[in-house]
Amino acid sequence: MRFAKVTFWIASIWGILVITPLYFLYDTIGRQDPPPITHPGFYYGFAGCALAWQFAFIVIAHDPVRFRPMVLPSVFEKFSFAAAHCVLFLQHRTHPADLGLGAIDALFGLLFLIAFFKTSS
């Protein structure tokens, strides 16, 4: 159970640190990686949804056994982000540095899956 708690705490802190700045980088992203973002609703919607998951990870970290059913959607959240980055990279639609962010989420997805099996009764 300790493995699951630590994993979810680390993932949530990392996520909050990485996602929160997105709220302040809307115009900067458009300048550094053109073209500018044209759908602010999707952008801020993604940031809000992703940030909400970080708080879900905090809830899971408090009691991984009780919230074990929420681990599987958490795995999906991590692997879907990683898969999207892999596909976009293979299509030459994203920078190699962005692939690193996907790899970090893939690692957390794997750790979440291990935590899921370690918390089984």
Number of domains the chain contains: 1
CA distances from 67 to 52, 73, 77 (A): 16, 11, 16
Write the pLDDT tens digit of every residue in 79-100: 999 999 999 999 999 989 889 9
- pLDDT (tens digit, 9 = 90+) per residue, 25-81? 999 998 998 889 999 999 999 999 999 999 999 999 999 999 999 999 999 999 999
pLDDT over 80 (residue 121): no
**Residue ranges making up the domain that contains 106:** 2-118
